[in-house]
Structure 1
Amino acid sequence: MKRVSAVLALAIASAFAQAAVTQTTRYVIISENNGKQMGEQVVENHDDGLTKVRFIYKDNGRGPELTEEFRLGADRTMTAYHVKGNSTFGAVVDEKFERNGGQASWVSTTEKGAREVRGPALYVPLNSSFEVASRAISALAAAPGRSLPLLPSGTLTHKVLDEMEVSGPGGKKQSVELIAQTGIGLSPQFMWATKGAQPELFAVVVPGVFVAAVDGWQGNGKALAERQKKAEAQMLNDLAAKLQHPLQGLTVVKNARIFDSNKGSVGAPSDVYVLRGRISAILPAGAPVRGAVNEIDAAGRIMLPGLYDMHAHLGRWEGALHVAAGVTTLRDLGNDNAQLQMMIDETAGGKLLAPQIVPTGFLEGESQYSSNGGFVVKTLEQSKRAIDWYAGHGYPQLKIYNSFPKEILKETVAYAHLRGMRVSGHVPAGLRAQEALDAGYDELQHINQVMLNFLFKPGVETRSLERFYLPAEKVAGLDFNSKAVKDFVATLKKKQIVVDPTLATFAFLKQKDGDVNEPWAAVKDNMPPDVARGFHVGTMKIADAATQARYEKSYAKMVQFVGTLHKAGVPIVAGTDDLAGFTLHSELALLVKAGLTPAEAIQVATRNGARYTRTSADRGSIETGKLADLVLVDGDPTKNIEDLRKVAAVITRGHIIYPKEVDQALGIKPFVEQVPLVKPLEAVPANIAGSNEGMLRQIGAIGRKHD
């Protein structure tokens, strides 16, 4: 009888709960590349004012899973909010916000805070679903000037950029608006919203990545993406025009101390002449100036060749941050093919402020863990067709990913080599790094993929989060003097296998909630408040102090191992795979921590970058005839690598860019205040060759020296 009563009570409670839900909205998240579902968001609005959200997103074997509950006030902003779950890499999420009258308070695994508040204000959770953005759209639509203060700090605004009609189930049609929100992060956030007195989220489109749309309406994804890309293009074109200053005619950069990336040393002050994006002459400082129409006084600053970021997945809004950090060449290691081609064209045409892109073809296999960029293949014939496409579009390298079929690996690598491409990547599931080298790899990406060579055992799923947790757990106890380790290092050296360790990215392995992770400590005070706040959020699920200590030791040994590779003669390149621009400086600082000198670390980011992108003929060093990709830096990064963050000016593609202006445009506190300005000079007639015979002999000698 008791059991029957309990079952009846449960049924009644369930029926009541269902009756309390007044509306359920489901969003599906699909790959924009291949239409594969990557997640969903289910929103339940209850008749007592409570909203419940279930959110899940998975790509590449990882992603957040969240449950939320919140209530709104009369001004459409949240008065209570609670989110629980796990972040992308498994860290525990548990965050609460509450507002009682004029007092707001919040607490999470990372922080605890409170503030007095007057009037409407939007709380920004550290981890949340799209529904939080949806409610912000509604609140901003009702706010004067479409602007509201943020909690803990900042201001959010939104602007309508476009409108289009979309079609849904049963022939239904409606109009939706493209909104750009600014005030959170380092770039605008784009969303499509319904129209009306209380607009709400209709879709989120990340071109080339995914479309999250109301279920039944996701078929509009490609049309929404195209309209959004055009609207973004106009904003980015305006930004590029504002921040790129063309150097018209012959320009001389006077009194610069040139870093020789081949020798790893700084030379005597020189004057460097730039014409149409190339170095036309290098003379001793103080030599008579003839023919230049512009002058830039470097005032004794160090001049570096443009830096290389050898591991990025470029987004259109990230290019300016890369350039401001001195990155003039970027190797893209996997992107939506159409999106990447578009960015290459936009950059070449001056419509997008970004480094010159060296594209890498992305090749993945089908599985529940697949990453959805580039080409996803099953057969050798499909692999060859993908490689043909990449080779035909000028890609010098192929990147193979986690789920690639190991049965066709060797033949695929051989075919890529036949088409003149280098081959790198992750190690396909079921293999060790040594087996990838045996198949013909030229390069390995990520320090965890290297360490898994010694930790992998059959049955371990290296496409799941285990590829992060296993190295964090086990590298601490790995003996670098063991025969297995020494033999592997010897193989890397003998075959000259390049290692792209991305150490700064993998610092997340040991970050504790509340602490600022090592790569961001030097930049946090320059960042907008909401970005700096995110630096305190841990990534991994770290159960206790003993686990924390073990993960810290493992990461320290990974850094040490990169130093071991360098000393052994294994080529290292500097890649990031994280926050644009700033991460490269942190990567080089970690290379110094691993045992490289600051000058050697800069060589890695210049000479090695050029060598392993096959661009040494025109980049990677400062020489007459090469591209004028030049970086002026305050201080001396060859002695203190942290001075590399003090980029005063960047010259590339015939333009000068001031990082100070980029920083100010993106809400960042500049790292350099005084910049070397362009000073117009009186033009000198062209028929003065006789009076410049000595100078012309010098130019000729320098040119012959570098032939």
Structure 2
Amino acid sequence: MKRVLALSLAMVLASPAFAAETLRYVALVDNGKEAGHQVVTTGDDGVTRVDFVFKDNGRGPELKEEFKLAPDGTFTSYHVTGTTTFGAPVDESFGRDGNKVWWKSTSDHGEQTVDGTALYSPLGGSPAGFSVAFAALARRPDGKLPLIPSGTMSTRKVAEADVSNGKESRKVQLLAITGVGLTPTFAWATEEDTPRLFAFIVPGFVQLVEEGWGNSAAALETRQKQAETETLVAFQKRLAHPLDGSTLIRNARVFDSEHAKLGPASDVLVRDGRIVSVGKTGGAAKADNVIDAGGRVLLPGLFDMHTHIGRWDGGLNIATGVTTVRDMGNDNATLQQIIAEEKAGTLLATRIVPAGFIEGESPMSARNGFVIKNLDEAKKAVDWYAEHGYPQVKIYNSFPKDILRETAAYAHSKGLRVSGHIPAFLRAEEAVERGYDEIQHINQVMLNFLVDDKTDTRTLVRFYLPAEKVADMDFDSKPYQDFIAMLAKKQIVVDPTLSTFEYWRQRPGDMTESYAPIADHMPPDVQRGLRVAEMKIPDEATAQRYDKSFRKMVDFVGRMYRAGVPIVAGTDALPGFTVQSELEWYVRAGLTPSQVLQIATWNGAKYTRTLDDRGSITPGKLSDLVLIDGDPTTDISDIRKVAMVLKGDTVYYPSEIFDAMGIKPFATPVKVTAPENVFLSSPRTAGRRGPKDR
């Protein structure tokens, strides 16, 4: 799901413009397949109108915008209507009269007094909004553009390129936009006194480019990746603190993830990115560096078992204690690049376990990984993933159900696990019978009781049907009990991603329980974006019904866990912070905090087949460790109080990362002290199974 992308777009985009009769853009995915358009028309009445549509994976936004500009290039009036990616209505307006401004959206409203130039930043704007921002910024001698309701946008040129469409040549520039959202946003603009948007590219996902210039998109994406790399490398150098020699973490209460319990105060010695020993605190051994835990809780690094990783996600993940992610579907070339950069240490990133994405060809296909038409192509996709070290494949919505059994058997013969969405016109139990080892998303589990061989779950029906119907389910009845028993008997793993489905019950302007604990720490524009609803909820009765359905899905996760169904903690949403809220939902489902922490550590390693290397604080394993300023074994919400993260032989201080992203820190950092001699007695190496014994 591209919820994070949709949120980031809403936070950085204003609205469209360029003083031309008509300007057309095309949205390209999967090496040139058209998936949408943007048409910007300026009329004789001075009104600019935009028609924006983008459809991928059977869903996407549809927007109509109108606006007028003041002489300084900012809005005097603005209006957008349409629908969000998941069908919620968009209706937002803005006006300015002198120094008085006002705005109203489905999520908020307000008014201010504004002196001088300031640009309204809509919640529901299209990518054409870059043109307005670039033109207004070009008029600003200080290069900064105040925003309404709050914030300041600035840009800097990071690259340029010469492009040609065979008839015309043009020079374009890549601008890095800062001051909005949590990380820089990149867009290509024309090189002229009044620059406008030429292309907006999200590497590995979509290329929005002026019509007639699509042949230049691939080269621009390559150049953009190079330019982003320079910024990312500097980000990593600034925030990473490499450790030389050995490091002693002194007086830490170590969480035993294998047995889901908190141990006594211990000293943990690490060297060269590995855990050397775990023993009683105080004693006799030398160390080059010391971290005084002061009785804080030390956890193995957390896992996020459902991401679609991007190059900018590492900051939020590491700062929230996530040291390993499982990527559940990506552009293969982009993912291979990110994996290589992480291994080289040039990217602020988690460790990555890839799942190979295989989709079937259809008008509603997601365009990640391999999109296949037949069994031979499916086998070739499996071969590629096996050759590149992927431990599993992920089947998606349009995959041909008639070849599922043979594809799963072939993947198993290559040593790969099989998971995914349930292909259209199948039920979950049928997918399990045909070879699934794991199911992604709680809605895909619930659809088992709601679909037949004519239900097309490639559309938004896969969200609205369970939102409407789960409320009436009787989980104590035989069909549900039999289904849970089957999952437990076969040890079918479930990746619920509960947090990402809380938008089912979010009304416009409300803050979800998943993000309420972090909202006050976010920049104002991000806080505003978190209140945008994504589902169409027409009335209070529907809201109550969707809320009941969501809470019953939470209960179903608890029932599965207690029956012995393996659960893993995935998100498919805002990096890092959503892992923390996901764990809170499991506690609400009836699990203890310690059981939940075991899911986020031990289970993560077990079902990514990395248990030899991580998942517990055990001698011989990677020193991926998280120091918590609180006790999440008694209050799972303390998981947000991350004071220090050690990934191998590199220390990160979440407070530093958050400061760099405009986020108010959640805990005071615990830092490495100057080298000193300390002693460690009775190292707990004997009697503990090392990674080679598991």
TM-score range, shorter chain: over 0.9
TM-score for both structures, normalised by structure 2 = 0.96
- Partners of 1:365 and 1:295 lie apart in 2 by 53
User: Among 39, 43, 47, which residue is 2:40 paired with?
Assistant: 43
Amino acid at match of 2:80: V
Structure 2 counterpart of 1:174: 170
Structure 2 counterpart of 1:351: 346
- Could you say which structure has the greater relative contact order, defined with CA pairs below 8 angstroms and 6 or more residues apart? 2
Structure 1 counterpart of 2:190: 194
Task: Output one character per residue of 1:213-270: Cα deviation in whole Å (capped at 9) or x when no partner.
Answer: 0000011011000100000001000000111100110110100000000111111111
Amino acid at match of 1:319: G
List aligned pairs for 1:148-163, cutoff 5 A: 148-163=145-160
List aligned pairs for 1:274-423, cutoff 5 A: 274-288=270-284, 290-423=285-418
- Partners of 1:514 and 1:630 lie apart in 2 by 37
- Partners of 1:438 and 1:698 lie apart in 2 by 48
- Partners of 2:133 and 2:486 lie apart in 1 by 55
List aligned pairs for 1:580-659, cutoff 5 A: 580-659=575-654
**C-alpha contact (below 8 Å) 1:397/1:424 kept by paired residues:** yes
Q: Is 2:24 aligned against 1:26?
A: yes
Amino acid at match of 1:240: Q
- Partners of 1:701 and 1:568 lie apart in 2 by 35
Structure 1 counterpart of 2:503: 508
Task: Output one character per residue of 1:409-457: Cα deviation in whole Å (capped at 9) or x when no partner.
Answer: 1000000000100000000001000110011100000000000000012
Amino acid at match of 1:565: M
Structure 1 counterpart of 2:675: 681
Structure 2 counterpart of 1:701: 686
Structure 1 counterpart of 2:15: none
Structure 1 counterpart of 2:10: none
Structure 2 counterpart of 1:7: none
- Partners of 1:699 and 1:410 lie apart in 2 by 47
Task: Output one character per residue of 1:517-574: Cα deviation in whole Å (capped at 9) or x when no partner.
Answer: 1100100000011111011111100111111111011001000000000111100000
- Partners of 2:357 and 2:313 lie apart in 1 by 20
- Partners of 1:572 and 1:620 lie apart in 2 by 15
**C-alpha contact (below 8 Å) 2:100/2:111 kept by paired residues:** yes
- Partners of 2:688 and 2:449 lie apart in 1 by 49
Helix, strand or coil: the match of 1:462? coil
Structure 1 counterpart of 2:117: 120
- Partners of 1:84 and 1:76 lie apart in 2 by 22
Structure 2 counterpart of 1:257: 253
- Partners of 2:510 and 2:638 lie apart in 1 by 24
CA RMSD in angstroms, aligned pairs only: 1.3
- Partners of 1:104 and 1:573 lie apart in 2 by 48
Structure 2 counterpart of 1:523: 518
Amino acid at match of 2:290: E
- Partners of 1:266 and 1:478 lie apart in 2 by 37
Helix, strand or coil: the match of 1:507? helix
User: Among 199, 202, 205, which residue is 2:201 paired with?
Assistant: 205
Task: Output one character per residue of 1:337-386: Cα deviation in whole Å (capped at 9) or x when no partner.
Answer: 01000001101111111110000000001111100110000011111111
Task: Output one character per residue of 1:667-706: Cα deviation in whole Å (capped at 9) or x when no partner.
Answer: 001001x22111122469xxxxxxx9x94x6455266688
**C-alpha contact (below 8 Å) 1:60/1:369 kept by paired residues:** yes
Structure 1 counterpart of 2:4: none
CA apart distance, 1:287: 1.4
Q: Is 2:76 aligned against 1:55?
A: no
CA apart distance, 1:108: 1.1
CA apart distance, 1:189: 0.9
Helix, strand or coil: the match of 1:373? coil
**C-alpha contact (below 8 Å) 1:326/1:650 kept by paired residues:** yes
- Residues 490 and 143 from structure 1, CA distance in 2 versus in 1: closer, same or farther, beyond 3 angstroms? same
- Partners of 1:294 and 1:620 lie apart in 2 by 24
CA apart distance, 1:48: 2.2
- Residues 705 and 400 from structure 1, CA distance in 2 versus in 1: closer, same or farther, beyond 3 angstroms? closer
- Partners of 1:121 and 1:456 lie apart in 2 by 51
Helix, strand or coil: the match of 1:632? strand
Q: Is 2:210 aligned against 1:225?
A: no
Task: Output one character per residue of 1:306-354: Cα deviation in whole Å (capped at 9) or x when no partner.
Answer: 0000000001011111011101110000000010000011011111111
List aligned pairs for 1:549-568, cutoff 5 A: 549-568=544-563
Structure 2 counterpart of 1:13: none
- Partners of 1:487 and 1:140 lie apart in 2 by 62
**C-alpha contact (below 8 Å) 1:282/1:702 kept by paired residues:** no
Task: Output one character per residue of 1:605-639: Cα deviation in whole Å (capped at 9) or x when no partner.
Answer: 00100110011111100011111010000110000
- Residues 703 and 549 from structure 1, CA distance in 2 versus in 1: closer, same or farther, beyond 3 angstroms? closer
What percent identity do the matched residue pairs reach? 55
**C-alpha contact (below 8 Å) 1:624/1:702 kept by paired residues:** no
- Partners of 1:418 and 1:373 lie apart in 2 by 24
- Partners of 1:89 and 1:466 lie apart in 2 by 10
What is the aligned residue count? 674
- Partners of 1:558 and 1:700 lie apart in 2 by 43
CA apart distance, 1:462: 0.6
Amino acid at match of 1:26: R
Q: After the TM superposition, list the runs of 4 or more consecutive aligned residues in structure 1 that deviate by more than 4 angstroms.
A: 702-707
**C-alpha contact (below 8 Å) 1:308/1:329 kept by paired residues:** yes
List aligned pairs for 1:230-249, cutoff 5 A: 230-249=226-245
- Partners of 1:386 and 1:636 lie apart in 2 by 45
Structure 2 counterpart of 1:104: 101
